A and B are shown apart, each in its own frame.
Chain A
Amino acid sequence: MKLSSQISQNRRISTIVLPVITFIVFLSIWYAYAKFHYDNPVQRRNALPYPHEIFTDGFLPLNDKVNGLRPILGYMWPTVKVTFLGLLIAVVLGVFVATLMNLSKGIEKSLFPYAVILQTVPILAITPLLTELFGQEIGVRLVVTVLVAIFPVMTNMLFGLQSTDRALHDLFTLNQASRWTRLIKLEFPSALPSLMTGIRIASGSAVIGSVVADFFFAKGEKGIGYYIRTRQQQAIQRPEMFAGTITASLFGIAMFVLIGWITSRAIRNWHDSNLAIRQSSFKILRPLKGN
């Protein structure tokens, strides 16, 4: 008892300490590189500012209406909206299409190749087409986000549905279960862990998709990508650019943690499938709850 609590204590410390050490090493390399690579402070500031300058110049001007934390959060909001809504649409559509494909091999065969093609088209290469179809405001950014997020949801859902245990299928067959009952009571629950994996991957794509879409479609409610791009264009605004980028990736991390939390809640009762998730880095979520 005592020993095991000590072990879990140690594990808890290491899940916090180890990443912190990585972070310190990373910062040190950054400082060293910024210091020795550039001959003078102005040059350095314009290329790679010190990390603390990002904080003081990028975030801290609290009351500045153009740069700093407050405008950053203002620009974040449309991006957050697009990401969540896009992910939601991608999940609903992806699950729907995967379910259709699972019901009929014919549908699977006729749709799947196009899903793959959709995934391989470099979306940004077709910006003119997208602008033509959907304009340049928040709507087209939503479309881009859905396009990049739907594939992992769909493929993982399909995989989950199709890898339902044969013996369980036999059991349902013996009980003369209808196609619908089989879908609802057997295939959906059994696909849930895969679906959650798909959503986890899709959430990362959705964040990147919506931020990048901000870069290219900058009308209407402008997003954080627009903030980053415009600061990028000005050499002296590197700290502002980094501050925007860091905020966007913090959002990505928050999404990752959120989806992980939802996943472990959704399937915590069935250890077997939960195992893979528990063993992954998601466990940073668990020690805090004391398991």
Chain B
Amino acid sequence: MTALSLHNISMTFPDGTQAIDDVDLTIKRGEFVTIVGPSGCGKSTLLRIISGLQQPTSGTCEVNRKSLGYVFQDSVLLPWRNVRKNVELNAELQGVPKEQRQESVQKAINLVKLNDHVTKFPHQLSGGMKMRCSLARSLVSQPQVFLFDEPFGALDEMTREHLNDELLNIFLQEKFAGLFITHSIQEAVFLSTRVIVMSSQPGRFISEHTIDFPFPRVPDIRYSAEFAELCGRISHDLKLAHA
């Protein structure tokens, strides 16, 4: 079942920056696609187009925006709301009644391990905690299409791997269509069913790698030879993308 499809998407900003050039992409439910590419190649722009925040210069985008989760590159929390209230925000704005959202809010908070911090305000949180709060906020409404813009970029290795494991669990349960952006090749390979390498200026998809590790994936696959080989291939393409 196709959850997201992009046809010939191009984006040129008014100042002449050509961010995306003729991108096609189809993601089914149950697929987890990761895009890696040099900084500034148009990854965030692509997600903004999919979410409807930005109109592409040309091309079409088919996606159900009513059931879309979007974790921004920055945590984007309301500074006057504590963690619990921030996690609650999306559901609240979507009009989910208070009693109904409590349970899923608590579940999301547990999942990202912020239980001990629910009454803290954003300025009292570390960068990683803010990101986890932002992730939890999107989890609450159980979207069918989930966009992640480098959500774990600011985290330490251990927390990142832990959240990768958790994210995969959620993915297996919810079977959403995932589109993930990262600078970490390891993270890309571990999470995804497909990894796409993007080049910059203009942003194009230059190669695609299918990752066949079966689900559920155990953390230890990260140390297998097959994993290393995949990483090597993607890394090679990424070097071409930078050139």
**Residues in chain A within 8 A of chain B (CB atoms):** 165, 167-168, 170-177, 181, 185-186, 189-190, 192, 267, 269-273
The answer to whether B53 touches A172 (Cβ under 8 A) is no
B72 CB–A CB distance under 8 Å:
yes
A16 to B51, CA, bound (A): 55
The answer to whether A270 touches B121 (Cβ under 8 A) is yes
B76 CB–A CB distance under 8 Å:
yes
Q: Give the Cβ gap from A160 to chain B, nearest Cβ, in Å.
A: 13
The answer to whether B123 touches A167 (Cβ under 8 A) is no
Q: Residues of A contacting B93 with CB < 8 Å?
A: 172, 175-177, 181, 185
Residues 57-83 (chain B) with a chain A CB within 8 angstroms:
68, 70, 72, 74, 76, 78-80, 82
Residue of B nearest to A266 (CB): B80
**Residues in chain B within 8 A of chain A (CB atoms):** 51-53, 68, 70, 72, 74, 76, 78-80, 82, 89-90, 93-94, 121-124
A190 to B79, CA, bound (A): 8
Q: Residues of A contacting B76 with CB < 8 Å?
A: 165, 167-168, 170-171
The answer to whether A270 touches B94 (Cβ under 8 A) is no
Q: Residues of A contacting B74 with CB < 8 Å?
A: 167
Q: Residues of A contacting B80 with CB < 8 Å?
A: 189-190, 192, 267, 269-270
Told that A172-B93, A177-B93 touch, could you supply 18 new A-B pairs with CB distance under 8 A?
A165-B76, A168-B76, A170-B72, A170-B76, A171-B76, A174-B52, A175-B90, A176-B93, A176-B94, A185-B93, A189-B80, A190-B80, A192-B80, A267-B80, A270-B80, A270-B121, A270-B122, A272-B79
Q: 5 pairs across A/B with beta carbons < 8 Å? A: A165-B76, A174-B68, A175-B93, A175-B94, A273-B79
By CB atoms of chain A within 10 A, which of B51, B52, B78, B90 has the most?
B78
Q: Residues of A contacting B89 with CB < 8 Å?
A: 171, 175
The answer to whether A272 touches B123 (Cβ under 8 A) is yes
A272 to B78, CA, bound (A): 12
Q: Is the interface of B mostly helix, strand, loop or mixed?
A: loop
A170 to B72, CA, bound (A): 10
Known: A175-B93, A175-B94, A177-B93. A271 touches B70 (CB 8 A): no
Q: Total A-B pairs in contact (CB under 8 Å)?
A: 51
Q: Residues of B contacting A192 with CB < 8 Å?
A: 80
A273 to B68, CA, bound (A): 31
Known: A167-B76, A174-B68, A176-B94. A270 touches B123 (CB 8 A): yes
The answer to whether B121 touches A271 (Cβ under 8 A) is yes
The 9 closest A-B pairs by CB, nearest first: A175-B93, A271-B123, A270-B79, A167-B76, A189-B80, A177-B93, A269-B121, A270-B80, A170-B53
Q: Give the Cβ gap from B58 to chain A, nearest Cβ, in Å.
A: 22
A171 to B53, CA, bound (A): 9
Residue of A nearest to B74 (CB): A167
The answer to whether A168 touches B53 (Cβ under 8 A) is no
Q: Residues of A contacting B124 with CB < 8 Å?
A: 271
The answer to whether A173 touches B53 (Cβ under 8 A) is yes
Q: Residues of A contacting B82 with CB < 8 Å?
A: 269
Known: A168-B76, A269-B80, A270-B79. A174 touches B53 (CB 8 A): yes
A168 to B122, CA, bound (A): 14
Q: Give the Cβ gap from A192 to chain B, nearest Cβ, in Å.
A: 8
Known: A174-B51, A271-B121, A272-B79. A167 touches B94 (CB 8 A): no
A137 to B80, CA, bound (A): 43
Residue of A nearest to B90 (CB): A175
The answer to whether A174 touches B121 (Cβ under 8 A) is no
A189 to B94, CA, bound (A): 19
Q: Residues of B contacting A273 with CB < 8 Å?
A: 79
Q: Give the Cβ gap from B67 to chain A, nearest Cβ, in Å.
A: 12
A24 to B132, CA, bound (A): 55
Question: Which of A168, A174, A189, A267 contacts B70 (CB under 8 A)?
Answer: A174
Q: Residues of A contacting B53 with CB < 8 Å?
A: 170, 173-174
By CB atoms of chain B within 10 A, which of A173, A174, A189, A190 has the most?
A174
